[in-house]
Structure formats: C-alpha cells, structure tokens
Amino acid sequence: MFCNWRDCQEYRSLGLPLSTTSNEACKLYDATLTQYVGWYDDDSMGGLENCVAQMLSADPQFVMGHVLKNGLDLMGTGRSVALDTDFKRDIDAMVTLSDSGPINQREQLHVQAIKLWADGQMRSACDKWETILVDNPLDMLAIKFAHDAYFYLGLHPQLRDSPARCLPNWKPSMPLYSDLLGIYSFGLEETNLYSQAEKVARQSLEMKKQSAWSTHTLCHVMEMEGRQNEGIGFLSRTLNDWTKCGMLACHNFWHWALYHIEKNEHQGALDIFDTEIAVSLKKSGAMLDVVDVCSLLYRLELEGIDVGSRWNDTFEIIRPHVEDHILAFNDVHIMMACLGSNSKEIVQKMMDSLRGFIRDGSGDNHDLTRDIGMPMCEAFLAYDEGDYGKAVELLLPLRYDVIKIGGSHAQRDIFNLLLIHAALKSDIAEHKKLARHLLMERKALKENSPMTDRLIAKAMATHVD
C-alpha cells in the first residue's frame, strides 16, 4: 500500500492547494483520502478513523479536513442530520468555519456540496463536484465523492463519464492512478460495457494487485456474463490481495456467495455468509455490509433455503436504522431484515415512519422514497403475507424505475427475482404467464444462468390455461 503521504507543497504543485499551514494535517488528509479511495484501513496509521481524528487535531481549523470527515460520514449512509444532532452540529460548524477564514473557490465548492448532500439535495451536490472537476480534474476527493453519489442515485452514465473526463489529465506515475482506473472500470461495467470494463480493471490490478474496487468490477463483469466458475476461481486465487481492503472485502465475499447461489450450491453460500459476511457486519455495522447480509439471506430464502436464526443477529444491528430514511435503497433492505426476523411490531413502526417521512420530508431521497421506496417496501410486505398478486401489482410498474434508488445491477437483481417469484406463486393466471415472459427476458440477457434455467423449469411445470 502507498505510504508516502503528500504535504502542502506537493498539493500546491498539483494545483490543489489546501488552506492549512500544517504539513502534518495535509499528510493525514492524504492518508485518509488514500484509505477511503482504496477501501482499507492502514494499520501503520491506526486506520481511517484515527487518521481523521489526528488530522483535525493537527489543525482544527482545516476546512478540507472537516469536509473529508463529514463527507465520509455522509457517504457511509449511516448518519443523518435530521436524526443526529451531533452530526448536524458538525456540518454547521464546517460551514461557519468556511465563512470565517480565507479558503479558495475549490474548497468553498466542496463545503457547499457537503452541505447540499446533508440537506438531501443530492443531485445538486453532484453538480458542485462536477464544477470542481472542470478546473481541477486531479481532485480525487471530488472524483470519489461524485462516484459514490452517482452510485447511490443510480446515475450510471455519470458513473462512467465523470472519471472518463478526468482520466486524460492523470499520469500513471501519480498516486491513486490505479484506483482511478478502478473507479472508471466500474462505471463501464454498470453501463454494460463489459469487455472494456474488464480490460481497464485488469490494467488497474496490474499496477496494484490490492485494488479492491477493480477486483469488484471483475466480480460484476463475471456475474453479469454468467461466468460463475471463473468468478469463484478468480476470487480464490486473489484472496490474499483483496481481503487486505477490509472495507470492501465483505462485498466481494457477497459476490462469491452469489456465484454459489447461481450454481445451486446453497451450502457454499451459507458457509461464506457464516464465516465472512455475518462476521464483517457484526464488526463494522456499515450500511454496505447491512445491505449485503439482507440481500444474501433473502435470495437464499427465495431459493427455498431455511436460513435458521441468521436474521435475528442481523436485525439487532439494523434496528437503530429503521427510521433513518437516508436512502430508499437502504430502507428496502432494512425491511427485508424486519420481515426475516418476524418483527411485526417493528415492520409496522417502519411503515408508519416511512409514511411520516413521505408526508413531512423533503429532498431527493424523499421523492424517491415516495415514488419507489415505499411501494417496494409494500411489495415485500405483501409477499411476506402471502399476497403474491398484490406484490406483482406493486412491483411491475416499478421495474424500469427501480434503478433510480441506486445500487448496482447485481444488487437490484433481488427486485427482479422477487417479481418473478411473486408472479410464479400468484393465483392469477396472467401473473403466471408474466413469470414465463420475464424468465425468457432474463434468459436473453444472461444466457448462462443456472438459476434462470431452474426457474424456467419451475414455471413450465405450472399449468396455465
């Protein structure tokens, strides 16, 4: 891993001056940014959180230090200014600090972007980061914040084009260049440019074999192209590389488990869940790990697998986030855990809270929750209650809009699977016919899918007049 942290002069030479006179704060900023982009904790630095604390201790007036700290909390999607008064105080203090001292225009735009995101104006925050990148294409913090934001908003062309615009200004000798290639490769994959995505990801891995985001891109490519055996082999061979990036390791294990589910090897998926994914969630409590746990358990249940008491431990970690409503994508997965643990009282609490958020809230996620997130949660609830026809009627109109709540194609596939399973189980004949058509569509999209073949066989065995 990279460890030659850049000081004030080096940032000025890049055309990215930072408004601090503390070389220590600047180097800690660089160390924090490097770990964030690389999805790892540097043990020699005490990890990401320790670097943030030391950075602000070295210079409490360092505006970009506060931008980085608050941005990390926002992008983690586990804190909300609406519910967390300490976090709101941090955001307000950052804005006040930016107004009280001389900072450059780029830094001011960073402050504005973080404030907009905190206030729910997510698309407007993206506009600020893109404004920064027009004049400052070497600003990795703006690149990474925009990349994460586009992922949460389901804006896949932007996920690809934003790093593509910056890349020609970079040199391979620059720190974080391989990580930039990884960021770009994922945008290519999410816009279905699989061969190009694989080429760029492998180029990144040749430069830095621990590039977890590039490993992640290849996981997606192999998932979307139905290359399950190759995916398992790839992750197994490179295990000691990508597991060094602990912040993303759980998600790459999730991909490994998906390959096993696809192949009807459910015990293999459960083994990965028990030894890696559940352990990671218990340790981190991170929302990315929450989503992975919920999605994997729910997929196994759709496959008819009894996951035992595994939902219970997951639910206890998720319980504090039932009323967050930071991302509709998170809410739908939290609903899976509430249903999976049979926590009917909490299910009702969450549904009431969602209605209150739709009534009183504002911002981009409010609109997405109203239009997509809430009916998705209602569909999961209907399916859980055995009202499969209602689940179909709720899901079918959303199938081409659900991309707007973010996540990757592979992650959102759970919603496609729920619709298919609901249609197969529905008592309505038209729904059973719909299931067959959806499966033919699925087969055309990914020809080598044992799961789809199993579902087609199940659908064909069902009599339809």
Q: Are residues 329 and 194 in the same domain?
A: no
* Residue 76 neighbours by CB under 8 Å, 6+ apart: 286, 287
Judged by DSSP in three states, 4 sits in coil
Does residue 3 lie within any of the structural domains? no
Judged by DSSP in three states, 261 sits in helix
At residue 1, does pLDDT exceed 70?
no
Does residue 2 lie within any of the structural domains? no
The candidate with the shortest Cα–Cα distance to 225, out of 11, 17, 410, 356, is 410
Contact at 8 Å (CB) between 69 and 56? Answer: yes
pTM of the model: 0.96
Q: How confident is the model at residue 398 (pLDDT cuts 50, 70, 90)?
A: very high
Q: In the chain, what is the straight-line distance between the N-terminal and C-terminal CA atoms, in Å?
A: 62
Q: Look at residue 422 in the predicted model and tell me its pLDDT.
A: 98
Does residue 258 lie within any of the structural domains? no
Encode burial over 173-182: b for 16+ CB neighbours within 10 A, e otherwise.
Answer: eebbbbbbbb
pLDDT in tens, 334-354: 999 999 999 999 999 999 999
Q: How far apart are CA 92 and CA 95, in angstroms?
A: 5
Does residue 254 lie within any of the structural domains? no
With vertex at residue 146, the alpha carbon angle to CA 60 and CA 185, rounded to the nearest 5 degrees, is: 125
Q: How far apart are CA 442 and CA 444, in angstroms?
A: 5
Q: Are residues 159 and 121 in the same domain?
A: no
Give residue 243's Cα distance to chain centre: 18
Q: Are residues 295 and 399 in the same domain?
A: yes
Last residue of a domain, one of 213, 244, 275: 244
Residue 334 structure tokens? 């939290």
Contact at 8 Å (CB) between 264 and 457? Answer: no
Q: Are residues 134 and 119 in the same domain?
A: yes
Residue 319 structure tokens? 């319980």
Give the percent of the chain with pLDDT over 90. Answer: 97
pLDDT in tens, 367-391: 999 999 999 999 999 999 999 999 9
Q: Look at residue 274 in the predicted model and tell me its pLDDT.
A: 97
Q: Are residues 239 and 276 in the same domain?
A: no
Q: Are residues 419 and 297 in the same domain?
A: yes
Q: How confident is the model at residue 462 (pLDDT cuts 50, 70, 90)?
A: confident
The candidate with the shortest Cα–Cα distance to 314, out of 347, 348, 331, 291, is 291
Q: Look at residue 464 in the predicted model and tell me its pLDDT.
A: 60
Does residue 251 lie within any of the structural domains? no
pLDDT in tens, 411-442: 999 999 999 999 999 999 999 999 999 999 99
Encode burial over 43-79: b for 16+ CB neighbours within 10 A, e otherwise.
Answer: eebebbebbbebbbebbeebbbbbbbbbbbbbbbbbb
Q: Are residues 143 and 176 in the same domain?
A: no
pLDDT in tens, 276-322: 999 999 999 999 999 999 999 999 999 999 999 999 989 999 999 99
Last residue of a domain, one of 178, 212, 244: 244
Q: How far apart are CA 4 and CA 42, in angstroms?
A: 12
Q: Look at residue 101 in the predicted model and tell me its pLDDT.
A: 82
Quote the DSSP letter at residue 260: H
Name the residue range of residue 283's domain.
8-154+266-460
pLDDT in tens, 43-96: 999 999 999 999 999 999 999 999 999 999 999 999 999 999 999 999 999 999
Q: Give me the chain's average pLDDT, please.
A: 96
At residue 465, does pLDDT exceed 90?
no
Q: Are residues 341 and 205 in the same domain?
A: no
Mean pLDDT confidence for 148-162: 98
Q: Are residues 141 and 277 in the same domain?
A: yes
Residue 183 structure tokens? 């960021």
Q: Are residues 229 and 185 in the same domain?
A: yes
Q: Are residues 234 and 273 in the same domain?
A: no
The greatest distance separating any two alpha carbons of the chain, rounded to the nearest whole angstrom, comes to 77
At residue 118, does pLDDT exceed 60?
yes
**Dihedral sign of CA atoms 227, 233, 234, 236 in order:** positive
Q: Look at residue 359 in the predicted model and tell me its pLDDT.
A: 97
At residue 14, does pLDDT exceed 80?
yes
Q: Are residues 438 and 335 in the same domain?
A: yes
Unique residue bearing structure tokens 């943030």: 52
Encode burial over 187-224: b for 16+ CB neighbours within 10 A, e otherwise.
Answer: bbbbbebbebbbebbebbbeebebbbbbbbbbbbbbbb
Residue 277 structure tokens? 């994914």
Q: Look at residue 310 in the predicted model and tell me its pLDDT.
A: 96
Q: Look at residue 2 in the predicted model and tell me its pLDDT.
A: 54
Residue 242 neighbours by CB distance under 10 Å = 28
The candidate with the shortest Cα–Cα distance to 293, out of 414, 150, 152, 113, is 414
**Dihedral sign of CA atoms 77, 80, 83, 88 in order:** positive
Last residue of a domain, one of 196, 213, 244: 244
Q: How far apart are CA 65 and CA 371, in angstroms?
A: 36
Count up the domains in the chain and report the number: 2
Mean pLDDT confidence for 91-114: 96
Q: Look at residue 128 in the predicted model and tell me its pLDDT.
A: 98
